[in-house]
Amino acid sequence: MLLIHSQFKWGKKQERQAFTLIELLVVIAIIAILIGLLLPAVQKVREAASRLQCSNNLKQLGLAFFNYENTYQALPPAYYVAFPPAANLAYSWAPLMLPYLEQENLFKQYNLNQMFNTPTNIAVLQTQLKVMQCPSTPTQNRMETISLPANAIPGYPAATFTTAAGDYSVISGVTSAGWDSVVGPPSGGDREGMLATPPLTSSKITSISDGVSNTLLLVELAGRPEAWQSNIRVATNGFPNVPNSGNANTVGAGWGNPYNGENWVNGSLYDGQGNRGPCMINCTNVTGRGIYGFHSNGASVVMGDGAVRFLNTSMNPKNFVYMITAKKGEIISE
C-alpha cells in the first residue's frame, strides 16, 4: 500500500503557474531600462565609426592632393575659370583628383577643355562618390541643382545644372569682415589660402611661408545643399536669391561644382545666423561662413602637411582664422 501511494505521489503531474500581469510589466520595464542604457553607448560607437570613416576620406583626399603635386610640381587650383574671348571654362579642384582616388576611368570621361555643365561632364559630376561623403551627415547621396543667371559666369548664358553633393570643401581665404569679427581691426582679410584662386592657376608647397602644418588644405562643409544652423536643418535647398550665385547660398555643394572651390569665409553668429561673426566652426554650413561637421563639438580638416585634425568648437577662433591664410606670418597659440 505504501508503495502504491508513493508511485501515485511521484507520478502526479505538476501544474506550472503562468506569469502574472505585474511580473510581465516588471520584465518589460527592466528591458526598457536596459535598452535606454545601451542605446547611447551604441550611438556613440556608431558615431565614432562614422567619424573615423570621415577622417579616412579626408586622409585619402589629402594624399590625392600630394600625389597631384608630385606629378605636376604644383598644387591644383581651388577652382579654375577662363573667360571669353580666350576660352569659356570652369571646373573645381575635385575632377583633378579623380586619377589619384582610384577613379581613373571616371576622369577619362571628363573633358577639362569643355565647360563643366556639358552633358558628358555633368554625367561624371552626378556620380555619387563615397570618398566625398561623410557617413555622419544625416542625408546621404544628395544632389545640388543650381540655376545660374546669364553672365553669372562672364559671357555664359543662363543655365540650370544638377551635380552630386559632397561634404568637403577648400577654404580660399578670410574676408575683411570675417577677420575684423574674430581678430579685430585693422582689417587683415586675405584671399590667399593654401590653394590658388583666379587669376592664379596653381601654387607651390614651398610658397606656404606660414608652414604647411599650420595651414588648412581641405575642410568639412557637410550637409549642403540642405542648410543647417546649429544642428537644426532650416532649409532643404539653401536660401534663395543670392546674386550671381545661383538659387542657394549653399552653392558649391556639388563636389565637382566650380563654386566648391570658392569658400571665402566671414563667419556667422553663434546661432548660425548673420552674414558675419565670430563663429567659424559648426554654427552653419552656409557657404562662406566657416566649416561644418555633424560630429559632437567640432569638425575634421586636412592640414597642408596631410595630417587630419579635429578642430573643436571651443578652439580660439583667432587660431582658426590664422590657419586659413598661408603667408601672413600669424602665430598660432594652440
- 1-10, 41-50, 79-88, 184-193: least confidently modelled range: 1-10
- Per the structure, the count of domains in the chain is 1
CA 309 to chain centre: 14
pLDDT value at residue 57: 96
Q: To which residue does cell 556639358 refer?
A: 118
Residue 12 lies in a domain: no
Three-state DSSP class for residue 300: strand
* d(C-alpha 57, C-alpha 313), whole Å: 21
Residue 163 lies in a domain: yes
pTM above 0.85, yes or no: no
> What band does 256 get if pLDDT is binned at 50, 70 and 90?
very high
Residue 161 lies in a domain: yes
Residue 235 lies in a domain: yes
Range of the domain at 80: 47-324
Q: Is 149 exposed, middle or buried (0-12, 13-18, 19+ CB in 10 A)?
A: middle
CA 147 to chain centre: 22
Q: Is the pLDDT of residue 174 over 80?
A: yes
320 Cβ partners below 8 Å, 6+ apart? 182, 280, 281, 290, 311
pLDDT value at residue 334: 62
Q: To which residue does cell 563654386 refer?
A: 259
Q: Which three cell numbers stand for residue 69?
A: 603635386
Which residue stretches of 174-264 are H helix? 176-182
Residue 249 lies in a domain: yes
Residue 88 lies in a domain: yes
Residue 205 lies in a domain: yes
Please provide the average confidence, as pLDDT, over all residues in the chain.
85
Residue 38 lies in a domain: no
Q: Is the pLDDT of residue 85 over 70?
A: no
87 Cβ partners below 8 Å, 6+ apart? none
* d(C-alpha 4, C-alpha 239), whole Å: 91
> What band does 14 get if pLDDT is binned at 50, 70 and 90?
low
Q: 172 or 334: which carries more pLDDT confidence?
A: 172
Is the separation of the CB atoms in 196 and 77 below 8 Å? yes
Is the separation of the CB atoms in 287 and 224 below 8 Å? yes
Radius of gyration of the chain (CA): 27
